[in-house]
Amino acid sequence: MQQATASLPNDVIDQRALSKLKWRSRRGLLENDIFIDRFFKRYESVLTVRHAQGMSDLMGLSDADLLDLHLGRKTLLQVDARLARDDISEVLNMLRAIP
């Protein structure tokens, strides 16, 4: 019997996981959708399990908090101290990157 191996944090996510992440990342606020759409267009081929977890955790925020983070009006600590992690900071920097 073959045992399934767990994905490592730096493994690139597969198409199914990418599709689920994109679905989970849909937002009600157009400004957030613009940031997120640009993020996926730029990074979808290199997103890792670690990035996907960070992005998923960010998507648990309200639209207002997410936009404040994108625009730098608030820090992760101000929004939720549990989000002040390296993986989330990295994804947030990727979201903020100017194309």
Predicted pLDDT at 69: 95
Give which of 21, 39, 23 is closest to 92, Cα–Cα. 39
Q: 3-24: string of b/e by CB count within 10 Å (b at 16+)?
A: eeeeeeeeeebeeebbeebeee
pLDDT tens digit sequence for 9-54? 889 999 999 999 999 999 999 999 999 999 999 999 999 999 999 9
Average pLDDT on 64-88 reads: 95
**Predicted TM-score of the model (pTM):** 0.84
Residues 51 and 85 sit within 8 Å (Cβ to Cβ):
no
pLDDT band at residue 3 under the 50/70/90 scheme: very low
